[in-house]
Amino acid sequence: MRLMSDRELRARLTAGDLDALADAYDRHGPYVYGVAVAITGSRAYAEEVTQNVFVALWERPSSYDPGLGSLRGWLVGRALHESARRAKVG
């Protein structure tokens, strides 16, 4: 079975395909969570950050531009930003 490209995944997300969100989470969730744990030092915050990152992807899939880089990179970048903000507040 072939993995979908980031462009295909984004197109499905833009069309409102909830299975595409599950596919993105299955493929990239562990990386997002790992970054969030490393930055925040908290599993609870990391879970919240991970959820927020994937909710943002679901709500605004067009904010990810496959021409600028990988979906994993975009998700991890959002996780880094939110985790750093969380670490300052936390």
How confident is the model over 27-73, as pLDDT tens digits?
Answer: 999 999 999 999 999 999 999 999 999 999 999 999 999 999 999 99
Radius of gyration in angstroms for the set of CA atoms belonging to the chain, rounded to a whole number: 13
Question: Greatest CA separation found in the chain?
Answer: 43
What is the pTM for the complete model shown?
0.90
* The pLDDT of residue 90 is above 70: no
Does residue 11 contact residue 64 with C-beta atoms inside 8 Å?
no
Question: 6-87 is classed in which CATH architecture?
Answer: Orthogonal Bundle (1.10)
